[in-house]
Chains A and B, each alone.
Chain A
Amino acid sequence: MSWETVIGLEIHAQLATRSKIFSGSPTRYGADPNTQASLIDLAYPGVLPVLNEKVVEMAVRFGLAVNAKITERSVFARKNYFYPDLPKGYQISQYELPIVGEGHLDIRGESGDVRQIGITRAHLEEDAGKSLHDRFDGESGIDLNRAGTPLLEIVSEPDLRSAVEAVTYMRKIHALVQYLGICDGNMQEGSFRCDANVSVRQRGAELGTRTELKNLNSFRFIEKAINFEIERQIEVIEEGGKIRQETRLYDADRDETRPMRGKEEANDYRYFPDPDLLPVVIDAAYIDALRADLPELPEQKCQRFQDDYGLRVDDAALLCETRPLADFYEAVAKATAADPQVAANWVLTNLGGQLNRDGLEISHSKVSPGQFAELLDALSDGTVSGNGAKEVFEAMWQGEGRAQDIIEARGLRQISDDTLIEALVDQVIGEFPDQVTQYREGKTKVIGFLVGKVMQASQGKANPGQVNALLKRKLDA
């Protein structure tokens, strides 16, 4: 049996506005419960929603970035259901006329090919509050700080064919919304959430029944959850069973998906256009202005890094994963005389490694791009050796100062003066006549030994390249 997996993702990105979508309450994360919920958020009798226009801008920017149709007249609709964290008893969302229509995003498939993933739509809606079931004895606490936070729900076509592809797509959207400045992508804080619709079928057959996986709040979990679900569904079908259309939660501790309890009855949401809000009407001029103002997108930047800086595609892609990283790199590349590929290596490996060790984001790097560029200059003009540069970088990270200062203070300056090196070379040639003879008799590898001796004589400070070149010249003469 040849199985094919069909996956669609629904991503909820919290839009990075200062206030909520329909009220002026702040959207900051982490406040004490119910301190950021106004009368409007609490759905007091008589209150009315007023649209935060910034969310429209952000949604349109997203639509433009995924080549989507922008709906010039979109409508807010009420999605009616009862739950304590939904104060109005309905969620204001968009139903028949979402602000962003069909679009697409290209990703790199597992075999390196380009896969175009369709985006069905993206629409604006408000978030619900939070229910806390474990904090109070026998009761549930409702925190409405989050109620009314703006969300952009991004729905993909069921074009993804594996868990890896799904994660790739999700990462790309994750990077994109941050690039556009419309979402901070903080998955721990719930700013970026994902549900996956998963089904399996025989190649060429009709679509199978899908299940919806919720509670996926990290890239790792999504991959594991989807893979578990694929296995589970295949097993069920192969044993002659049927897949039940249901919502399942991913349990990270047990690495399995389980059906969600308590929401089994299908809700009839009774969508209708919200009579308290006007249709969102935007014109071509509005859209064009936003299009002109779009920042360089990851794709474009990645290509440009390859073209302008001659970077390998993999390195370019890594550097463009987030805008702060790409911006840091570019600032370094422009400021340094070093080779851009060298700069890329150092940013990715040395700086990247240090950030990881300290658990820091690049925006909190303890070395600025300018300072980093100075270090690379010292490396590239031979002032300091490769190892020396690593030592200098660590010292810079600890706050010891600028590259040049540290090099002097620690005496790390390479000896690059030909006269001095020549003197050392002559000295070593004098000291090890046997090896010299061996070299001249054809055992050229012994030059390494002699280079090592020169380095020793110079306490490691001689520029190895120059030593090698000078030695060779003298030995060959």
Chain B
Amino acid sequence: MAYETLSAQRAALESGEVSSLDLTNEVLANIQEAQPTLNAFVTVTADRALAAAKASDQRKGADRRPLEGLPIAHKDIFCTDGVKTSCGSRMLENFTPPYDATVVSRLADAGAIMVGKTNMDEFAMGSSNETSYFGNVLNPWDTSRSPGGSSGGSAAAVSAGLVRAATGTDTGGSIRQPAALCGITGVKPTYGRVSRFGMIAFASSLDQAGTLTATAADAALMLDSMCGFDERDSTSLAAAPPDLVAGLGKSIEGLRIGIADCFFDDGLDADNEACVRDALAVFESLGATLVPIELPNLHLSVPTYYVVAPAECSSNLSRFDGIRFGHRAADADDLTTLYRRSRSEGFGPEVQRRILTGTYALSSGYYDAYYLKAQQARQVIRADFTAAFERVDLIAGPTTPTPAFGIGEKVDDPVTMYLNDIYTIGANLAGLPAASAPCGLVRGLPVGLQLIAPMLAEQRMLNALHQYQLSTDWHTRRPPALAGQPQ
């Protein structure tokens, strides 16, 4: 049962060609087979999934919902009622939430079937899925390499064909970068489009839920059930989301695509650049025009992000104190010891590093120089995008500077690791929708093309990618083998 896309699976279910039960069984079998190699999952919810699949197969006609019977995976950052939610951390190894995140309940209400929770960088802090307490996730294209992060598990699962859709979160590129490194499509909507309720917070003003799928059309299908106002999230956008599936299929004749030099800097691998330029040529052939633009302050992105995000996370992670839930150190005789040990034992080094950095940035005497300054820089970056979008409809460039790097190559050098996000971070700082789609192979490894759109313009962005995918076949390429053999 090789259904290449979520949409193809859906069509097969609708036509009765396959039942959800059979499909889910096959998915579970594939997951089990790949797990020792890829380690993409922290928890597999086989019994629940099969029960849900059986129930789904009973629904006929008008009872069938947009994602009826389709197996999906959730990044282990989304709280799932009665199902362990670890956030890739020892701190939450024993945590079973008593409620569903809005993303989870909306997708379930749309008929999707959760087959498991995917592995991730601890508390979403990382770009390589090497910081998870539950071990590294490996890239299906080359298992000596990282799949990217923090949504490494979701990306690997989709890339390896285990599921055709998974949820992810993107704070500085954590959907788009793994999508690029794994040769799939990753979408981060406008900040506020998808509810953050139940999504364990890393950096509140940057976090956004999104999708990892094979195609833009699949992403639209998923996002149509995920987007929309949630009264439980005060940062949720009131504006009604557009019908993304209905928005596909428009010509992009006359679409103005902005090209900024800062996305084509010295750090960009020459072969990556070639793939991206080829993609841009395809857009031109479809009627789009390429317009040079400037984003003069984008070089501030990484330092700005690495002040704002740790600052917010240092506060968001204070609730993990061993008192009410999560890891509690044994034999602590006083409060301070309990706190210190529980948190030192529960958090890995990258999380501790960011908590310390963030606490420092907010501390007395430094707040103005760091946090306040970073928020001001953020406004400047946002203004650059606003100005650019007066002249263009979308901005295009590479998603990452290089293809997938080796496991262990960067994990000991945080700053080098942080620079992985150099092209993606700007969209998070400005709250803009952004996506990555496969646009080539470099030395056998996938390359991602990034599109950034103005606020609320997901429809335009997804349609452009969809048109691109109708004219190319990079999104159909699959990893060569799935047996732990390097390329």
Interface residues, chain A, with chain B CB atoms under 8 Å away: 39, 42-51, 78, 80, 82, 84, 87-90, 142, 268, 270-272, 275-278
B311 interfacial contact with A, CB 8 Å: yes
Neighbouring B residues of A87 by C-beta, 8 Å: 319, 323-324
CA distance A88 to B325 in the complex (A): 12
Comparing B265-273, B359-367, B407-415, the segment that makes contact with chain A is B359-367
Contact with B101, one of A46, A50, A51, A271 (Cβ below 8 angstroms)? A46
B324 near A275 with CB under 8 A, answer no
CA distance A272 to B203 in the complex (A): 13
Can you report 18 A-B residue pairs in the complex whose CB atoms are below 8 A from each other?
Answer: A44-B325, A45-B87, A45-B95, A45-B201, A46-B200, A48-B232, A48-B235, A82-B339, A87-B323, A87-B324, A142-B323, A270-B359, A270-B362, A270-B363, A271-B362, A271-B367, A275-B205, A278-B235
Q: A39-B99, A46-B101, A82-B318 are in contact. Are A278 and B234 (CB under 8 A)?
A: yes
Contact with B201, one of A46, A89, A142, A268 (Cβ below 8 angstroms)? A46
CA distance A142 to B321 in the complex (A): 14
Neighbouring A residues of B233 by C-beta, 8 Å: 48, 50
8 Å CB interface, B276-329 against A: 311-312, 314-315, 317-321, 323-325
Residue in chain B with minimal CB distance to A142:
B323
B99 near A275 with CB under 8 A, answer no
Residue in chain B with minimal CB distance to A22:
B234
B330-362 Cβ-contact flags toward A at 8 Å (1 or 0): 000001000100000000000000000001001
Number of interface residues of B (CB under 8 A): 44
CA distance A31 to B234 in the complex (A): 29
Neighbouring B residues of A43 by C-beta, 8 Å: 319, 324
Contact with A84, one of B87, B232, B323 (Cβ below 8 angstroms)? B323
B204 near A45 with CB under 8 A, answer no
8 Å CB interface, B193-251 against A: 196-201, 203-205, 231-235
Q: A45-B92, A46-B201, A270-B363 are in contact. Are A80 and B318 (CB under 8 A)?
A: yes
Neighbouring B residues of A50 by C-beta, 8 Å: 231-234
Neighbouring A residues of B92 by C-beta, 8 Å: 45
B235 near A82 with CB under 8 A, answer no
CB distance from A344 to the nearest CB of B (A): 51
A45 near B312 with CB under 8 A, answer no
B155 interfacial contact with A, CB 8 Å: no
B85 interfacial contact with A, CB 8 Å: yes
Neighbouring B residues of A39 by C-beta, 8 Å: 98-99
Which of B99, B315, B320, B371 has the largest number of chain A CB atoms within 10 A?
A: B315
Q: A39-B99, A87-B319, A270-B363 are in contact. Are A45 and B85 (CB under 8 A)?
A: yes
CA distance A437 to B315 in the complex (A): 98
A89 near B315 with CB under 8 A, answer yes
B79 interfacial contact with A, CB 8 Å: yes
B479 interfacial contact with A, CB 8 Å: no
The 6 tightest CB contacts between A and B, nearest first, are A89-B318, A270-B362, A275-B205, A275-B204, A46-B198, A43-B319
B311 near A45 with CB under 8 A, answer no
CB distance from B263 to the nearest CB of A (A): 27
CB distance from A137 to the nearest CB of B (A): 15
8 Å CB interface, B90-149 against A: 92, 95, 97-99, 101
A46 near B97 with CB under 8 A, answer yes
Residue in chain A with minimal CB distance to B101:
A46
Residue in chain B with minimal CB distance to A270:
B362
CB distance from B199 to the nearest CB of A (A): 6
CA distance A438 to B318 in the complex (A): 95
The secondary structure that dominates the B interface is: loop
B351-387 Cβ-contact flags toward A at 8 Å (1 or 0): 0000000010011100100010000000000000000
B234 near A78 with CB under 8 A, answer no
Residue in chain A with minimal CB distance to B372:
A272
Q: A39-B98, A275-B204 are in contact. Are A48 and B85 (CB under 8 A)?
A: no
Neighbouring A residues of B315 by C-beta, 8 Å: 78, 80, 89-90, 270, 272
CB distance from A138 to the nearest CB of B (A): 10
CB distance from B330 to the nearest CB of A (A): 15
CA distance A272 to B323 in the complex (A): 24
Q: What 10 new A-B contacts, CB under 8 Å, besides A44-B79, A44-B99, A80-B315? A: A45-B85, A45-B87, A45-B92, A45-B201, A46-B79, A48-B232, A48-B233, A271-B362, A272-B367, A275-B235
A272 near B371 with CB under 8 A, answer yes
CB distance from B463 to the nearest CB of A (A): 31
Neighbouring B residues of A80 by C-beta, 8 Å: 314-315, 318, 362
B318 near A90 with CB under 8 A, answer yes
CA distance A271 to B196 in the complex (A): 23
Contact with A82, one of B85, B231, B321 (Cβ below 8 angstroms)? B321
Which of A44, A88, A90, A142 has the largest number of chain B CB atoms within 10 A?
A: A44
B318 near A88 with CB under 8 A, answer yes
CA distance A87 to B233 in the complex (A): 19
Neighbouring A residues of B335 by C-beta, 8 Å: 84
Q: A46-B199, A84-B323 are in contact. Are A272 and B362 (CB under 8 A)?
A: yes
Neighbouring A residues of B234 by C-beta, 8 Å: 48-51, 276-278
CA distance A82 to B339 in the complex (A): 9
CB distance from A174 to the nearest CB of B (A): 33
CB distance from A387 to the nearest CB of B (A): 65
Q: A49-B234, A89-B319, A270-B359 are in contact. Are A44 and B97 (CB under 8 A)?
A: yes
Neighbouring B residues of A270 by C-beta, 8 Å: 315, 359, 362-364, 367
A268 near B199 with CB under 8 A, answer no
Neighbouring A residues of B200 by C-beta, 8 Å: 45-46
CB distance from A346 to the nearest CB of B (A): 53
CB distance from A159 to the nearest CB of B (A): 28
CA distance A49 to B231 in the complex (A): 10
CA distance A84 to B318 in the complex (A): 11
Neighbouring A residues of B201 by C-beta, 8 Å: 45-46, 276
CA distance A469 to B241 in the complex (A): 90
Residue in chain B with minimal CB distance to A81:
B318
B232 near A45 with CB under 8 A, answer no
B79 near A45 with CB under 8 A, answer yes
CB distance from B146 to the nearest CB of A (A): 26
Residue in chain B with minimal CB distance to A83:
B335
Neighbouring A residues of B99 by C-beta, 8 Å: 39, 44
8 Å CB interface, B152-203 against A: 196-201, 203
Neighbouring A residues of B97 by C-beta, 8 Å: 44-46
CB distance from B319 to the nearest CB of A (A): 4
CA distance A49 to B95 in the complex (A): 21
Neighbouring A residues of B311 by C-beta, 8 Å: 272
CB distance from B428 to the nearest CB of A (A): 13
Residue in chain A with minimal CB distance to B358:
A270
A45 near B362 with CB under 8 A, answer no
Neighbouring B residues of A278 by C-beta, 8 Å: 234-235
Neighbouring A residues of B98 by C-beta, 8 Å: 39, 44
CA distance A142 to B323 in the complex (A): 10
Residue in chain B with minimal CB distance to A40:
B232
Contact with A276, one of B85, B87, B235 (Cβ below 8 angstroms)? B235
